[in-house]
Amino acid sequence: MDIQIEDDGAAVARAGAEFVARAARAAVAARGVFHFAVSGGHTPWEMMRELVGGDLAWDKVHLFQVDERIAPAGDPDRNLTHLRASLLAFVAIPDGQVHAMPVEASDADAAAAQYERELAVTGKPAVLDLIHLGLGPDGHTASLVPGDPVLEVRDRDVAVTGTAYQGRRRMTLTYPAIGRAREVLWLIDGAGKADMLARLVAGDQTIPAGRVRTAHSTAIVDKQAAAKLG
């Protein structure tokens, strides 16, 4: 894992936007398209706002979700609600290239299977160019949360958590889907993440984030989060 340390969360968001823009240009140059999956969180939404002003070929971007809460359309708990407000309202990604997780469906497991089929636009098996991940104070990433059966899913790229986490069940990409990504970008800021970042970097598989295995990953972190790194 490559680690880039910035002063604060705002700097992490700016550096993250620069990283995404470079990855997008490289993917479009190499394959004519950029397949990008995003997680939620305050700093990622700041990153999205930074991307609005970037010179990207938005018509060649396919945007996916890493995870989503099972909640009604427009609910403030939904990552999609904030993604629309921070990015999609300002850039011209064709509607058919915005791949929202279908969490409003009555059958969540069938909806997860549907989203897995949608991922096939990236290839079979699905290979995303870039996946953005965050890190929770409890060591979760995406909606791969401590103690949930979803951690053991190996035969599907998309699954639903077995229990509610912070009040909501969730749909999430699984370890196999994340592990096949060409690149993973971690955005991590704040003193509350310092312990878990150190464990992530050490490859501690007792936390969900520590079980992510990818060929290429970069963590852009702030000084507070990096405080316990050797």
Dump pLDDT digits (tens) for 51-76. Answer: 998 889 999 999 999 999 999 999 99
Strand partners, 210: none
> What distance in Å separates the CA atoms of residue 17 and residue 12, rounded to the nearest whole number?
9
Query: 3-state SS string over 10-40?
Result: HHHHHHHHHHHHHHHHHHHHHHCCEEEEECC
What tokens appear for 215 in the block? 């060929």
Q: Given this model, what pLDDT does residue 10 score? A: 97
Domain ranges of the chain: 2-168+193-203
> What distance in Å separates the CA atoms of residue 34 and residue 129, rounded to the nearest whole number?
6
Q: Indicate the helix (H) or strand (E) that contains 176.
A: helix 175-179
Between the alpha carbon of residue 14 and those of residues 81, 187, 207, the distances in Å are 21, 11, 28
Q: What is the pLDDT of residues 141-164, one digit of tens each?
A: 999 999 999 999 999 999 999 988
Asked whether residue 31 carries a pLDDT value surpassing 90, the answer given is yes
Q: Answer for the pair 169, 163: CB distance below 8 angstroms, yes or no.
A: yes
- Entry pTM: 0.96
CA-nearest of 60, 73, 37, 41 to 157 is: 37
Asked whether residue 230 carries a pLDDT value surpassing 90, the answer given is no
> What distance in Å separates the CA atoms of residue 199 and residue 179, rounded to the nearest whole number?
19
Q: What is the pLDDT of residues 92-133, one digit of tens each?
A: 999 999 999 999 999 999 999 999 999 999 999 999 999 999
Q: Given this model, what pLDDT does residue 163 score? A: 85
Amino acid (one-letter) located at 47: M
Domain 2-168+193-203 in this protein, CATH class:
alpha beta
Average pLDDT over residues 29-39: 98
Q: Given this model, what pLDDT does residue 119 score? A: 97
Asked whether residue 167 carries a pLDDT value surpassing 90, the answer given is no
Average pLDDT taken over every residue of the chain: 96
DSSP, collapsed to helix, strand or coil, labels residue 18 as helix
